[in-house]
Each structure stands twice: as structure tokens, then as C-alpha cells.
Amino acid sequence: MAEEVKLFGMWASPFSRRVELALKLKGIPYEYIEEDLSNKSPSLLKYNPIHKKVPLLVHKEKPLAESLVILEYLDETWKNNPILPQDPYERAMARFWAKFIDEKLLPTAAKVSHSTGKEQEQGVEEVHQQLKILENELKGKEFFAGQSIGYLDIVAHVLFWFYSAGEASGVNALTTEKFPIIYEWIEKLIKIDAVNECRIPKEKHQDFIRLRRESLKSASK
């Protein structure tokens, strides 16, 4: 492999899946290495000593961490099939919404999945507000990126996980009725081959979510 791209990922990590999806959409050949996060490999610890997390991309022996940083790197290094818009203002908007998803929406969603009762209800309400803001951004467009899938769709496709995680945990924040535009967008996404190749089996994911919730519950007792 001339380009020597390795991706260290974990099947249930939406952040790993983002990088996989970008690699597939851009047609970059890569070797995938599944990490057992309860027993991290020496390679992961060597290449990502700061965060020790997946996804980790290694390109020609040079390591890169953080999914959003990796997406920009892929787009700057392999110019074909660009995922970021070309216009500086549109690029800025894509980055703004990506930050919104990672720094607002996902932390709120994590709070929901780790809480119960009143606190969980408040969290769900907050997720709804944030999803409404995001849905508004999608209004009138085929994809977040416009006419076809792009950077912000790759970042936002973490919302897939909301459905199966919601069903498994009994807290479905992303209902079809409440967010029809997001739902339509997901329907469009799953018709794309690369997206389908990156989907994780729903049942396996739901078992994973249930197990994690149980271990968190017993840890907090």
C-alpha cells in the first residue's frame, strides 16, 4: 500500500465511523485495526499517548487523533472528492456546526444516557432544543452539505446512534414525529453505499448500550 493508511477504531464508536466514512467517500484505501478499549494495544498507546483514544489514523507512520482534525487532514491530503465546501464562509459554517454537534449536542446526549429521573428529563428537553436548532439548519436542503453528502453530514451521522441507543435505553430523544427533517435526511443517507458499509448491526449496538448502562449503574452504586 503506497499510502500506508491505518485506522485504529472501535466498532461502536461513532467517531471512528466518521473517519471510516470519510475514507470510503474519498476512496482512500486503508487498513482497519479494531481496538479492544478495555485492553488497548501498544500501537494505540504509542501513537496516541495524549488521549489514548480511537479513532487514530496513522499515515506513513505519522499519527493523527481527533475525528474532526482527521477529516480536515484527509481532505487536504487527498484532494479528490472534497468533503469540505470550497467557499471560506461555507467552510466556517460547516466547522461551526461540527463544533455545535461535538461540544453541545453530544455532551448533552451523554448526560441523558448517564442519568435517570428528573435530571434525565431535563437532559432530553435540552437535546430536543439542540436538535431543533440543528434541524433548522437542514431545512430546505438535501444534505447538510447541500446537494450531496459532505463534511457536516459525516460529522452529523452520529445521529444514527441516537435511534438505536434511544431504543435500547428507553429514552428516545430523536423521534420521527418531532424531527421529520432529520429523519428524512437519515433515510437519504442510508441509500448511500459508503454509509451503509459503515453502519453497525443494530442488535449488536443495542446489546452494547444495555451492557454499558448496566455497568455504569453498578459502578455508581
Reply yes or no: is the peptide bond before residue 55 cis, omega within 30 of 0: yes
* Contact call for residues 6 and 30 (beta carbons, < 8 A): yes
DSSP state of 34: E
Contacts 24+ apart (CB under 8 A), 187-194: 188/142, 188/143, 189/143, 189/149, 189/153, 189/157, 189/160, 192/149, 194/21, 194/24, 194/25
Using rule CB under 8 A, residue 42 touches a copy of itself: no
Using rule CB under 8 A, residue 100 touches a copy of itself: yes
Identify which of residues 85 and 178 has a Cβ nearer to a copy of itself in the complex: 85
- Helix (H) or strand (E) holding 167, with range, is helix 159-169
Per-residue contact string for residues 121-160; x = within reach of a copy of itself by CB under 8 A:
------------x---------------------------
Distance of closest approach, residue 91 Cβ to a copy of itself, in angstroms: 7
Using rule CB under 8 A, residue 213 touches a copy of itself: no
Question: Of 56-64, 163-171, 177-185, 186-194, which part binds a copy of itself (CB under 8 A)?
Answer: 56-64
Q: How far apart are CA 30 and CA 187, in angstroms?
A: 27
Using rule CB under 8 A, residue 110 touches a copy of itself: no
Q: Which residues bind a copy of itself (CB under 8 A)?
A: 50, 59, 62, 64-66, 68-70, 72-73, 76-77, 88-89, 91-92, 95-96, 99-100, 103, 133
